[in-house]
Amino acid sequence: MTVTTDRCFPAACAQLGPIARDEPRSSAVARLCAMMQEAYERGARVVVFPELALTSFFPRWPLEGAALERWFETTMPNREVQPLFDLSRRLEMGFHLGYAEKTPEGRHFNTAIYVERGLILAKYRKIHLPGHREREDWRPFQHLEKRYFEKGDLGFPVFAGAGGRLGMCICNDRRWPETWRLLGLGGAEMVMLGYNTPQHYPPAPEHDHLQHFHNELSLMAGAYQNGLWVVAAAKAGHEEGCDLIGGSCIVAPTGEVVARTSTVTDEVITSCVDLDRCAEIRANIFDFAAHREPEDYGPICAPKG
Amino acid sequence: MTVTTDRCFPAACAQLGPIARDEPRSSAVARLCAMMQEAYERGARVVVFPELALTSFFPRWPLEGAALERWFETTMPNREVQPLFDLSRRLEMGFHLGYAEKTPEGRHFNTAIYVERGLILAKYRKIHLPGHREREDWRPFQHLEKRYFEKGDLGFPVFAGAGGRLGMCICNDRRWPETWRLLGLGGAEMVMLGYNTPQHYPPAPEHDHLQHFHNELSLMAGAYQNGLWVVAAAKAGHEEGCDLIGGSCIVAPTGEVVARTSTVTDEVITSCVDLDRCAEIRANIFDFAAHREPEDYGPICAPKG
């Protein structure tokens, strides 16, 4: 039996089934609260919710003006999300939540926050925005993240939380090894992320059957190559005509998947997370100080030509 | 049936079983020639041999002076390796070969070359040297690469060969995402590598059962995240008291393993390699120009503190 300590505890990953276009935030928040409660009852101290977890995945639609702005949160917490913060305080839980953020200056980001006991401890804004800027009518659905969001301006913060050092990234970020390396160099011991990944990839449909494989490959490689835990939560299932993959999972610093959802609905999975196990990798095969050779890595950071 | 063209052809991966400490280079070269011949008969245009393919893996022993120097090649080709070059010319084959190099100035490198039709087209010297510098008697075997070799001074060259753009790396390099990214940024379409990977990892024996998984995870992630083919050849089997993993494989730009050895002896595997398939990844999900964000990657290239 695993002993729960400050550094070794159950963590939960809360996958969301589809959110209908007309489903109010209050309904999504009620679903998230129910999963936080379940995670708590299963001993978890932290629960990870998906990207854009309060609404349907609106970048699939061409939108303008008020029809676009209504998908964004202008304050956090706000009245509709407050029950999640209240529950976090009452249960003494941490949670990771993705949502669309509009700043007081009118800037738009695809954002995630980490909250502990009702207090926001950290914020991340998505850096690797996928998709396209202009409407492309040949697509069965749009992916207008590059149009609707600005590139994140907060880097990849690593911060204290849950007895260790935590990091966040969002969806497409997980496919880029630079994301994981920056979090690893920052000392992250557990990375939390959410994703909305369609089963169908219009630019290369010959890879549709590989979506689960590519998701898990990216997560396993990021975990192993940086010796950190990964908790990755999907929005899954048939949402407004678009099939989203599930496959939410928890990955150990060895790269091993230690928990995985088996539905495309609201589903909580948990695994014991021992933050001290990061050292098995980082003090040995991937001892960065002993083995990295950054003087040879210049082109990785060179500006795009 | 796959049609062979300049850009779409069978490639071969030639795994070596163990080489005894007292086995002469002439014997190793005869084994390599037999595998090149087999690869040719199976339609391959290129064959990839392992790291340090001419001798036993000598960094496992503490050695000095002439007892150390005898493992290095001072010229390439030399009399003992010449049959491989001759066969390459006769069969119009390309081959990748790893060996220990001693330069005229007395510098030592863990080196790989790519040869086409008997001519050396490119050289790579291993950058990520694993192991340790001083003898450590608690280990069941040593891993003195950091003592016996200098860090490579040629970067990760990408060069024309086999109708496309080729790259090389060696063994531990494959575990580092920076290796693959540098090769991907250089435009490599097929990366060739060899490895000598013990089943037992003395600093973290609790991971011994994961050696195959970590090998394949590193290769699949490198291939997928950069949209390139990987041909990875092991030295395998029980060599001088040390078990080396096999698992030599060919990986497609989708990250899928398309061929894998099933022994720990001399074994040739082949797969059709279509270099034009790299575009499925590189023109879409990993379109570097559209989606990389190098201004955020600074810490990856920062000197070690």
Our answer to whether residue B239 is catalytic in this structure is no
pLDDT tens for each residue of A183-230: 999 999 999 999 999 999 999 999 999 999 999 999 999 999 999 999
Nearest CA in chain B to A151: B293
Neighbours of B109 (CB within 10 A): 24
The CATH architecture assigned to A9-293 reads 4-Layer Sandwich (3.60)
Cross-chain Cβ contact A176/B292 below 8 Å: yes
Residue A112: its H or E element: strand A108-116
Question: A-B interface: how many C-beta pairs under 8 angstroms?
Answer: 161
DSSP B165: E
Among residues B263, B231, B271, the alpha carbon closest in space to that of B247 is found at: B263
Which ranges in A78-129 belong to alpha helices (H)?
Answer: 82-91
Helices (H), B110-229: 145-148, 177-185, 211-226
Whether A304 is a known active-site residue: answer no
What's the whole-number mean pLDDT along residues B85-108? 98
CA diameter of chain A = 55
- Cβ contact (<8 Å) for A217 and B128? no
Q: Which of B13, B101, B116, B126 is catalytic?
A: B126
The whole-angstrom separation of Cα A294 and Cα B302 is 6
Residue A266 CA to residue A251 CA, distance in Å, equals 20
Place of tokens 């192993």: A224
Return d(Cα B276, Cα B5) in angstroms, integer. Answer: 11
Q: CB–CB of A173/A213 below 8 Å?
A: no
ipTM for the whole complex: 0.97
CB B258 within 8 A of CB B270: no
Q: Do B255 and A295 touch (CB under 8 A)?
A: no
Sign of the four-CA dihedral B263, B264, B265, B269? positive
CA angle A279, A280, A286 (to 5 degrees): 80
Q: What's the pLDDT tens digit per position in A143-166?
A: 999 999 999 999 999 999 999 999
pLDDT at A38 exceeding the cut of 90: yes
Among A51, A101, A189, A267, the one annotated catalytic:
A51
Residue A1: pLDDT above 60? no
How many degrees, rounded to 5, is the angle at CA A300 between CA A296 and CA A301? 105
Residues of A within 8 A of B302 (CB-CB) are 294
Interchain CB distance below 8 Å, A177 and B180: yes
Q: What is the pLDDT of residues A272-295, one digit of tens each?
A: 999 999 999 999 999 999 999 999
**With an 8 Å Cβ cutoff, are A217 and B218 in contact?**
no
Domain limits of chain A? 9-293
Average pLDDT over residues B76-99: 98
Whether A51 is catalytic is yes
Q: Which of B130, B181, B218 sits opposite A300 (nearest CB)?
A: B181
For tokens 């998230």, what's the residue?
A32
Which ranges constitute the DSSP H helices of B21-106?
25-41, 65-69, 82-91
Task: Record the tokens describing residue A118, joined without a space.
Answer: 């009702």
